[in-house]
């Protein structure tokens, strides 16, 4: 009896349905679109990398008094909106902002503030005896706010700071002292060359301590806050002001450096 031939694989293979054919066609089209999209190039940059580096070099060499328009024109960027130049500089980490009036807290300054808080966190009635003193400078005329260029990582840079007193050209230098149930008068000071930072320790004692602080010692119990960033020169080896306060048996403390927020007088003046 003759043997039957095995059926061909073609007869056993299932036929492709219409849905399978449509799926294959859709997949092929999708792959084609992805390939074309990958190969497609975007429109060229409005500002080349070379011109961007030139603008950065110009910013580094300038004093921050250059505008966006001047910045682009200086390197040959024409026909580009100022906002585009600004966006390119922000992308590189640069921005134009109002010059800092206060220093950012460095790591050392933060540690000093923590130590100060630990040393006085148990104070209660002592704060009622505290008299806060400080200097204030002001001038007449319109207020100007200088703007500077700097990077985001330059906030601790000393060169990025600008004193508001230098901008306003302060004409008047005053001193005041306040405390719990106490508010002293506003004292106008006279210094050489109209510069409060040049006030000597002797002048500070004769114009501030003796006439306005010493008389209060005999009237009430007080702790004097000698502001660490006060207006008198404190770079001398011997601090005559502290020696004079010790002679009066007047207790005093100093706030950490770059900590004006710890002096309540800053909220009053």
CA 224 from chain centre, in angstroms, equals 30
Q: Is residue 79 pLDDT above 90, yes or no? A: no
Mean pLDDT of 37-49: 66
pLDDT band at 18 (very low <50, low <70, confident <90, very high): low
0.75 exceeded by pTM = no
pLDDT at 168: 45
The position carrying tokens 């990398």 is 49
pLDDT 10s digits, 128-184 = 999 999 887 766 655 555 444 445 554 545 555 444 444 445 567 788 899 998 998
Kindly report, residue by residue over 94-125, the tens digit of the pLDDT: 766 555 555 667 788 889 999 999 999 999 99
Q: In the prediction, which pLDDT does 265 show?
A: 81
Q: What is the pLDDT of residue 103?
A: 61
User: What residues contact residue 103 under an 8 Å CB cut-off, 6+ apart?
Assistant: 109, 156, 158, 161, 258
DSSP 123-160: -STHHHHEEEEEEEEE-SS-----EEEEEGGGTT-GGG
Q: State the pLDDT at residue 189.
A: 81
Q: Where are the alpha helices (DSSP H) in the chain?
A: 9-12, 18-39, 49-61, 68-74, 82-91, 107-120, 126-129, 164-168, 201-204, 214-217, 240-247
In terms of DSSP bridges, do strands 94-98 and 223-225 run parallel, antiparallel, or are they unpaired? unpaired
Q: State residue 239's pLDDT score.
A: 83
Least confident of 60-64, 108-112, 240-244, 254-258: 60-64
Of the given ranges (77-81, 144-148, 240-244), which has the lowest mean pLDDT?
144-148
List beta partners, residue 252. 224
Q: What is the mean pLDDT of residues 211-224?
A: 91
Q: The dihedral of CA 244, 220, 133, 109: what is its sign?
A: positive
């Amino acid at each position: 009896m003759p043997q039957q031939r095995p059926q061909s694989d073609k007869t056993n293979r299932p036929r492709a349905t219409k849905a399978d054919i449509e799926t294959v066609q859709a997949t092929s089209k999708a792959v084609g679109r992805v390939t074309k999209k990958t190969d497609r190039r975007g429109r060229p940059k409005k500002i080349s990398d070379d011109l961007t580096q030139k603008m950065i070099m110009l910013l580094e060499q300038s004093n921050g008094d250059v505008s966006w328009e001047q910045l682009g024109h200086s390197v040959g960027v024409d026909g580009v909106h100022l906002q585009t130049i600004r966006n390119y500089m922000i992308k590189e980490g640069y921005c134009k902002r109002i010059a800092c009036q206060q220093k950012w807290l460095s790591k050392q300054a933060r540690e000093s503030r923590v130590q100060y808080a630990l040393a006085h966190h148990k104070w209660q009635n002592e704060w009622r005896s505290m008299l806060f003193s400080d200097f204030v400078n002001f001038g007449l005329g319109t207020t100007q706010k200088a703007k500077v260029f700097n990077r985001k990582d330059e906030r601790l840079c000393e060169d990025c700071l600008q004193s508001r007193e230098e901008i306003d050209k302060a004409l008047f230098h005053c001193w005041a002292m306040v405390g719990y149930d106490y508010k002293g008068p506003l004292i106008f000071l006279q210094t050489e060359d109209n510069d409060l930072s040049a006030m000597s320790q002797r002048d500070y004692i004769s114009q501030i301590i003796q006439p306005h602080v010493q008389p209060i010692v005999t009237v009430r119990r007080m702790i004097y806050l000698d502001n660490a960033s006060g207006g008198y020169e404190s770079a001398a080896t011997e601090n005559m002001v502290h020696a004079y306060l010790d002679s009066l048996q007047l207790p005093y403390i100093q706030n950490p450096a770059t900590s004006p927020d710890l002096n309540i007088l800053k909220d009053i003046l």
